[in-house]
Structure 1
Amino acid sequence: MAYVDPGNIATNTAAGAGHGFLLLWVVVLATLMAGPVQYLSAKLGIVSGASLPSYVGRRLSRRSRLAYWAQAEIVAVATDVAEVIGAAVAMNLLFGVPLVLAGLIAAVVSMVVLAVRDRLGAKAFEALCALSLLGIGVGFAVGIVREPAGLREIGGGLVPGLAGVDTVLLAAGIVGATVMPHAVYLHSSLTAENRSATGDLATRLRWTRIDVTVAMVVAGSINVSMLVLGATALRGSDDDSLGGAAAGLAERVGHGAGTAFLVALLVSGLSSTAVGTQAGASIMAGLLRRKVPTVVRRCVTLVPALGLLASGQEPLSVLVLSQVVLALGLPFALVPLVRATRDGAAMGAWRNGRILSAVVTTITAAVIALDLSLVALTVAGHG
């Protein structure tokens, strides 16, 4: 669910509308990178019984642990900002609900979704997520069917290339929205909580690989469709806002496509904001060593989102920048994850082998290189 949140919609459609198919390869590569990362996160929880935040927290001094928590909390806030703002904008455009009120409604809905999970169990929550994914996928499929892309254009977009600072910023946003540090923290927490599940470790890890692969194929396909829709139906649009995207789709493709886009944005925001709240709770539990009530957790991340909604900032720009924050926070999740899953004391015989270690180390190095490039270009641009 986290892989198709409003941050993904914003970065992918903005990349397509602004640069055509140029950054399609980034979406595909980021999805391929996310697969091994999510598998290792789940593997850590299954084998060691510890979430990544708790693994890190046990090995740091109090001062270092609080510093690490601070950066992880910024990531959690950036995640919730994107989800609440996305849902609020969709409600505003679909139903005329004022933005701040719509943000409050999104927060309440996330708490209801989590209450459903606590009351009815994980299966009910998973079914709700599956229905949400179906709704989002259908929303973007409507636009793709009515405005199809040519195979030559798609093939050209798979050739790596960038074109200036703006594309580096969008590439970082796409990577942050796709690999996502908060999802790394959360996945390890969810599998650690479910460690008592039946089945030997080999069987559980095999099914986890299948689960992650299916998730990446589904989420990756939806994310590709977001960029393709932006490149075909919104290319050259003068209005680079979410409202402009919906209006552009309605004008160029049909009213149904514009409505479907907003419905997909609304569903993704309302569904994924519960995921963001869960991620923040697991971060606090592992690093601050205390469980925080859902209402308190919700308020911690809701206040910045409502403040940005009330400030009049362009929501699309805020969404893209929030995903860049996630990209900058990724190394702080990936480096400990690589170390944890190579730790013989924590993983025993299930610690990473050389090939898997090399793969995730390469992914981590690529993310760090992208972040450093973005920082260097930004500094040079202001110099």
Structure 2
Amino acid sequence: MTGMTERTRIKMADVLAGRRRGGLLLFFGPAVIASVAYMDPGNYATNIEAGAGYGYRLLWVVLGANLIAMLFQALSARIGIVSGNNLAELSRMHFSKPLTLAMWVVSEIAAMATDLAEFLGGALGLSLLFGWPLIWGMGVTAIVTYAILLFERGGFRPMELVIGALVGIIGASYLIEMFIAPVDWSAALIGLGTPDLPDARALTIAVGVIGATVMPHAIFLHSGLTQDRARSHGIAEKRRIVRFSNFEVIIALAVAGMVNIAMVIMAASAFHQGHASVAEIETAYHTLTPLLGGFAAAAFLTSLIASGVSSSVVGTMAGQMIMQGFIRRRIPIWLRRAITMVPAFVVVLLGVNTTEALVMSQVVLSVALPVPMIALIYFVRHRGVMGEFAVRGPLLWLAILGAGIVLALNFVLLWQSAGLSVPGLPA
């Protein structure tokens, strides 16, 4: 994205040069946009299933996934700021052509799986709220997301403000839910701090939660949002931008993490006792009305619609950046929006259960996730790319550990998909 007023550029330059105090909000935006990926409708599907089926026992998975996401988003932003290139561009510049093409194909599949979840979620929320056929909801979602994407023509600031407003709606909706739902806070605290996987199904849901939380396209996108957002002169100014970025990532991803935790808590408090089989968004909505009242159910759908629309916009932006970075091609926004909508329409026309499609899309994302994670680790430690900003020591090992956990869970998922049981976990 391009476009910034000269007045804003002068203010940012003054902050970086030390001529102006504060100014942190001038640098806010990239992490806010990226954080939307961590509150998309796929999160709703996996978090509802986790909370309804296992109460507060899988909250630690949500917390751990969010911490991993926080680290990788900070590293992604760091690469864009320091190198002036996004992750897809660096991959094309440093890897062989066959490897680059393979990475692009996997990333495009992940982008389509992402958009499936986001687009279906927004359409489903509209369908339930207004009693429309799902196809009508999909049509309205398509129009609204395309209209928001047109804000990009005015530069990144208008887009950041629109996305920020939608994030605010999601957060406010779940804040309302927390006041209405009968939460067992002591059990929630235990669930946050006590790793527990009761059975093989819990493991499958845990992998889905991680796939819905740590998003491949968000890792690619964040590096692109920061690569030319603020002009720096010298190492000291670049270091200041990295510090501002890290602070923004912590705040934005902490908000996203609290929303995800609130989703599980709401599902656990409302459904686990007596409605543990609730695993679909539609069922959750219809069950919420008699349990917590129409206001709670409406807040739930409002947040789902805001989530679907905002994350679908961000997913389209990421898809453009991935294609342009890997193969130097850019297609019109309307065409990419149309292409990425096709799987959602196919799913609906085939009669596939929408929540099941959402959960499976998150599993696909989890399998695709090692591509940007491994590439990111490779480049953040590369002195030729990062210079003195190359990551070393404990931070690098934490990133390797995070990627290792995701890779191990992916292997277990494939093991389960082959019909094999996981030792030590009941079926």
TM-score surpassing 0.5?
yes
1:128 aligns with 2:162: yes
SS at match of 1:200: helix
SS at match of 1:160: coil
Letter in 2 for 1:342: R
1:161 aligns with 2:196: yes
Question: How big is the shift at 1:74?
Answer: 0.7
Residue among 36, 39, 42 paired with 1:4: 39
Alpha-carbon spacing, 1:111–1:197, altered in 2? closer, same or farther (3 Å)? farther
Residue among 133, 136, 147 paired with 1:101: 136
Letter in 2 for 1:157: G
Residue among 355, 362, 369 paired with 1:323: 362
Letter in 2 for 1:369: A
Greater Cα shift, 311-320 or 276-285? 311-320
Q: Tell me which residue corresponds to 2:176.
A: 142
Alpha-carbon spacing, 1:305–1:197, altered in 2? closer, same or farther (3 Å)? farther
Paired with 2:176 and 2:122, the residues of 1 have a C-alpha distance of 20
Letter in 2 for 1:231: A
SS at match of 2:369: helix
Q: Is the 1:47–1:350 Cα contact (8 Å) retained in structure 2?
A: yes
Q: Deviations over 1:224-250 (max 9, x none)?
A: 000000000122424532111011111
User: Structure 1: which 5+ runs fail to align?
Assistant: none
Q: Is the 1:144–1:229 Cα contact (8 Å) retained in structure 2?
A: yes
Letter in 1 for 2:189: G
Question: How big is the shift at 1:81?
Answer: 0.3
Q: Tell me which residue corresponds to 2:112.
A: 77
TM-score, scaled relative to structure 1: 0.96
Paired with 1:85 and 1:298, the residues of 2 have a C-alpha distance of 14
Q: Tell me which residue corresponds to 2:342.
A: 303
Residue among 77, 82, 96 paired with 1:42: 77
1:65 aligns with 2:104: no
Letter in 1 for 2:109: I
Q: Is the 1:165–1:374 Cα contact (8 Å) retained in structure 2?
A: no
Larger Rg: 1 or 2?
2
Question: How big is the shift at 1:382?
Answer: 8.8
Alpha-carbon spacing, 1:85–1:345, altered in 2? closer, same or farther (3 Å)? same
Paired with 1:18 and 1:150, the residues of 2 have a C-alpha distance of 16
Q: Deviations over 1:303-337 (max 9, x none)?
A: 01111122211111111111111111111111110
Q: Deviations over 1:188-210 (max 9, x none)?
A: 11111425368810110000010
Q: Tell me which residue corresponds to 2:324.
A: 285
Q: Tell me which residue corresponds to 1:353.
A: 392
1:22-33 superposed matches below 5 A: 22-33=57-68
Q: Deviations over 1:100-121 (max 9, x none)?
A: 23223212222211211322x3
C-alpha root-mean-square deviation of aligned residues, in Å? 1.7
Residue among 314, 334, 349 paired with 2:353: 314
1:218 aligns with 2:255: yes
Q: Tell me which residue corresponds to 1:251.
A: 290
Q: Is the 2:40–2:311 Cα contact (8 Å) retained in structure 1?
A: yes
Letter in 2 for 1:28: L
1:342 aligns with 2:376: no
Paired residues, number: 382
Q: Deviations over 1:73-120 (max 9, x none)?
A: 11000110000000111111111222223223212222211211322x
Q: Is the 2:37–2:311 Cα contact (8 Å) retained in structure 1?
A: yes
Question: How big is the shift at 1:161?
Answer: 1.1
1:86-97 superposed matches below 5 A: 86-97=121-132
Paired with 1:216 and 1:302, the residues of 2 have a C-alpha distance of 27
Letter in 2 for 1:265: L
Question: How big is the shift at 1:143?
Answer: 2.1
1:208 aligns with 2:242: no
1:111 aligns with 2:146: yes
Question: How big is the shift at 1:164?
Answer: 2.1
Q: Tell me which residue corresponds to 1:261.
A: 300
Q: Deviations over 1:160-183 (max 9, x none)?
A: 011222211111111111111110
Letter in 1 for 2:184: G
Q: Is the 2:53–2:278 Cα contact (8 Å) retained in structure 1?
A: no
Q: Deviations over 1:19-72 (max 9, x none)?
A: 111110000011111111001000101100111111112223332222111110
Greater Cα shift, 93-102 or 362-371? 93-102
Paired with 1:317 and 1:305, the residues of 2 have a C-alpha distance of 13
Paired with 1:156 and 1:195, the residues of 2 have a C-alpha distance of 42
Paired with 1:279 and 1:30, the residues of 2 have a C-alpha distance of 21
Greater Cα shift, 32-41 or 123-132? 123-132
Greater Cα shift, 21-30 or 62-71? 62-71
Paired with 2:185 and 2:349, the residues of 1 have a C-alpha distance of 43
SS at match of 1:149: coil
Greater Cα shift, 155-164 or 29-38? 155-164
Q: Tell me which residue corresponds to 1:152.
A: 186
Question: How big is the shift at 1:265?
Answer: 0.4
Greater Cα shift, 1-10 or 225-234? 1-10
Paired with 1:156 and 1:38, the residues of 2 have a C-alpha distance of 27
